[in-house]
Amino acid sequence: MKRKFQGNVRVQHVQLQALRQEFEVLEMKVGESVSDYFSRVMLVANNMRNNGEDMSDVKVVEKILRSLTEQFNYVVCSIEESKDIDTLTIDELQSSLIVHEQKFRKKDNLEHVLKVSLEEKLATRRKGRSTFRGQGRGRER
d(CA 113, CA 105): 12
Q: What is the pLDDT, as a whole number, of residue 70?
A: 93
Q: How confident is the model at residue 1 (pLDDT cuts 50, 70, 90)?
A: very low
Q: Is residue 118 domain-resident? A: no
Q: Is residue 86 part of a domain?
A: yes
Residue 120 included in any domain = no
Structural domain total, the chain: 1
pLDDT tens digits along 86-111: 999 999 999 999 999 998 787 666 66
Q: In whole angstroms, what is the distance from residue 83 CA to residue 81 CA?
A: 6
In a domain, 130, yes or no: no
Expressed as residue numbers, the domain containing 39 is 2-101
Q: Is residue 108 part of a domain?
A: no
49 in a domain, yes or no? yes
Smallest CA-to-CA distance from 38 within 81, 98, 85, 83 is with 98
Tell me the pLDDT tens digit for each residue of 53-88: 999 999 999 999 999 999 999 999 999 999 999 999
What predicted TM-score, i.e. pTM, was given to this entire model?
A: 0.69
Say whether 73 sits in a helix, a strand or coil.
helix
Q: Is 124 among the domain residues?
A: no
Average pLDDT, the chain: 84
pLDDT band at 12 (very low <50, low <70, confident <90, very high): confident
